[in-house]
Amino acid sequence: MSKDVIILAIESSCDETSMAIVKNGHDILSLTISSQIRTHANFGGVVPEIASRMHTENITFVLEETLKKFKGTIADIDAIAVTYAPGLLGSLLVGIECAKALSLVYNKPLIAVNHTMGHIYANNIENKITYPTLALVVSGGHTDLLILKSENEMQLLGSSIDDSIGEVYDKVARVLGMTYPGGPNIEKAAVKGEDTYKLPKPMQDDSYNFSFSGLKSYIVNLVHNEKQRGNEIRKDDLAKSFQIAAVDEIVRKVTLAIKNTGIKHFVLAGGVSANKYLREELSKVCNQNNVKFHVPNILYCTDNAAMIGCAAYPLYKEKKFADFSLNAKSSENIKLYIEKNK
């Protein structure tokens, strides 16, 4: 496209109220993120009703701040993009209704963006995605391994058949008495620990699917039994052993995909991609197999609207616009998304 495309993007799928203004799918002109972590930490996890209420309270201020940072006006914006799935229904609806209002008032096209696709396209911010590429999405709701054949064509290789990797990190952290969000606390503890606990290996097969529920259940039972016996739980060591077991399985499946497909590019995405140990282990595998490894800056790994603006750009080019009947979907996983967009 000869003309620059500027998109105002909105993300409110969970507990961050975020807006961004993105040019041509990669150039971040403005970004605002209002986090609710401190509030939800009091409850040990995200409370949906509180999250949606806080989005309602915050979204106008986030819009004002985003436009203030932008060196332009609303007239310079070509489209409004918003996350519609997956996520917490109440939270998603706040963002969607805001997007609809802006689209109507300013007569801008409305673009519906899948949250998971946003995580993937965050890799375009600092390193343009080269096709074909393998992509791994690891977050609180997803563990998905895909082939991105082109900007608008993808193939799902495998997903978690039970708990996502991020969900298990949080649940193990809770069992160990760590505060929310659990993932970063597990990572910090693991750095101080030793791999002294013998844990079961997750799904040992040659598929591209993942399963972490067995590992989670084993740790829950282990901690319960040790407490019943009056034995001390070496939290740092257990965190270390858990992280190694979980990441080893992810690395094994990614290695399998690299060898079977012969694809020479790999992108990592999602909130758990902020985990330093996971990044290091996947980077090693890519180097060993002469595969180029990319992962977004930490800022763009967790939920943010910049990634939504990036994912909206290909949809804008294809003129895939939504109408005002757009509604929130809590559970549209990547498989459903791909099937819908074939």
Q: How far apart are CA 168 and CA 7, in angstroms?
A: 35
Please tell me the chain's helix, strand, coil percentages from 3-state DSSP, rounded to the nearest 5: 50, 20, 35
CA dist., res. 232 & res. 238, Å (int): 11
Helix, strand or coil, per DSSP, at residue 322? strand
> What backbone torsions phi and psi does residue 137 show, to the nearest 5 degrees?
-105, 120
Contacts of 27 by beta carbon, 8 Å cutoff, 6+ apart: none
d(CA 338, CA 340): 5
| Sheet order of strands, 143-150 included | 153-159, 143-150, 133-138, 265-269, 292-294
**The token pair that represents 60 in the structure block:** 């106008």
Q: How much is the pLDDT for 158? A: 96
For 141-159, give the DSSP string: S-EEEEEEEETTEEEEEEE
What is the model's pLDDT at position 333? 81
What letter represents residue 332's amino acid?
E
Q: Sort residue 190 into left (φ over 0), alpha (ψ -120 to 50) or beta.
A: alpha
Sign of the dihedral through C-alpha 69, 90, 138, 339? negative
List of residues 6+ apart from 217 with CB closer than 8 A? none
Q: Is 94 helix (H, G, I), strand (E, B) or coil?
A: helix
Taken as a whole, the chain contains a residue count of 342
Contact 216, 163 (CB under 8 A): yes
Q: Confirm if 188 and 173 have CB atoms less than 8 A apart.
A: no
- Distance, CA of 101 to CA of 154 (rounded, Å): 32
Write the CB contacts of 341 (distance below 8 Å, at least 6 apart in sequence).
152
- pLDDT 10s digit of each residue in the chain, 342 long? 568 999 999 999 999 999 999 999 999 999 999 998 889 988 888 898 999 999 999 999 999 999 999 988 999 999 999 999 999 999 999 999 999 999 999 999 999 999 999 999 999 999 999 999 999 999 988 899 999 999 889 999 999 999 999 999 999 999 999 988 889 999 999 999 999 999 998 888 999 999 999 999 999 999 999 999 999 999 999 999 999 999 999 999 999 999 999 999 999 999 999 999 999 999 999 999 999 999 999 999 999 999 999 999 999 999 999 999 999 998 888 888 888 887
Under a CB-based contact definition with an 8 Å cutoff, are residues 239 and 189 in contact?
yes
